[in-house]
Amino acid sequence: MSPEDEVQRGGRAQRVLGDEIYKEAFDTIQARIVGLLAQSETIGEQRERLNALLVAHNKIKQYMEQVALGGKMAAEQIERERTLAERMLRRVI
């Protein structure tokens, strides 16, 4: 994947993470899972499934954050390379 592609993916991920409806959905689902885990009658296999679901739920957000960070880093690298190329061009001229 090219750095430009990474920048685009990162931007899309950042827009999703910043979207109010995404934040609301993420927080609502997480609160529901945590609430179910906190209930004393949630035991055994059901508790394990809920815990696995909570871990998977958080992994989705972590992945999106990783893609957003990768895009930011790719953008910074592109800018460094552009700046370096401009400096080298000035020396030649």
Q: What's the rounded Cα separation, in Å, for the pair 85 and 90?
A: 9
pTM score, whole prediction? 0.81
- Mean pLDDT in the chain? 92
Q: Could you report the per-residue pLDDT of 29-41, keeping only the tens digit for each?
A: 999 999 999 987 7
User: Phi, psi at residue 2, to the nearest 5°?
Assistant: -75, 160
- Domain, as residue range, for 63: 3-92
Predicted local distance difference test score (pLDDT) of residue 93: 66
Distance CA 54, CA 31 (A): 10
Place of tokens 């990768």: 70
Q: In total, how many domains does the chain have? A: 1
